[in-house]
Amino acid sequence: MFKVSRRHQPALPETRLRTAWQVCATLLDYPTADLLESLDGIERALADLPAELGTPLARFVAHLRSEDLRSVQEDYVATFDHTRRCALYLTYFSYGDTRRRGVALVQFKQAYRRAGVEFDPGEESGELPDHLCAVLQFGACVDVAGAWRLLLDHRAGLEMLRMALSDAGSPWHDVVVAVCATLPELQGEELDAVRRLVEQGPPAEEVGLEPYLIDPQIPVGPPA
């Protein structure tokens, strides 16, 4: 976990940061026909963002335009639902499927509650409060400062997701690159935390396995 220092201040004006996080949350969610219909509006929003955010996001939008919806949906499921290595759950990278992760999840719920909202995943989705889309949506629509702290606290996991998507050659890598570009450059303890995760992977019950060398497959759904 990282302490928020003076260096950890958003470089973007709040309105642009909210826009960036809203766009990223939308593009990282499960792709639907509604998403494809909204691409024109997303492209207009990108015009207000700096190049380090707008360029990768525009590249991903172009990818969506070039593919049919079914193939994009199948790619999404294969990328995020069938491999632990590309989990969109921020606490997974630090805590794996251990009891300590439950404490971390409560901290996300408490952050939402302090901002006056309750996390409601809905009966069908069953999402957890550390899902990256939920955190970005929270920052875009409710509490920029609260989401900022959550992202910084779990920055190492976010960087692990970025690297995993890069290794997989996934088009969603561009979206996570944009999320990372909204945050301060990694330094000091943050770099050390990323290095430790690369070397060790998240805690797991399978003692002796090296999660980021073998990329295990899981049969159903994302890690709980």
**CA 141 to chain CA centroid, nearest Å:** 16
Fold of the domain spanning 14-200: TorD-like (1.10.3480)
**What type of residue sits at position 153?**
D
Nearest Cα residue to 184 out of 22, 2, 55: 2
The model's pLDDT over 99-124, given as tens digits with 9 standing for 90+, comes to: 778 888 888 999 999 999 887 765 44
The model's pLDDT over 122-154, given as tens digits with 9 standing for 90+, comes to: 544 568 899 999 999 999 999 999 999 999 988
Give residues with Cβ within 8 angstroms of 153, minimum separation 6: 1, 2
Taking the C-alpha atoms of residue 221 and residue 201, their distance in angstroms, rounded to an integer, is 20
Q: How crowded is residue 45: how many other Cβ atoms within 10 Å of its Cβ?
A: 17
On whether the CB atoms of residues 81 and 48 are closer than 8 A, the answer is no
Residue 209 token pair: 């396995």
pLDDT tens digits in sequence order for the chain, 224 residues long: 334 443 466 778 999 999 999 999 999 999 999 999 999 999 999 999 999 999 999 999 999 999 999 999 999 999 998 777 888 999 888 777 667 788 888 889 999 999 998 877 654 456 889 999 999 999 999 999 999 999 998 888 898 899 899 999 999 999 999 999 999 887 767 677 677 766 666 655 433 323 333 333 322 233 33
Question: What are the extents of the domains in the chain?
Answer: 14-200
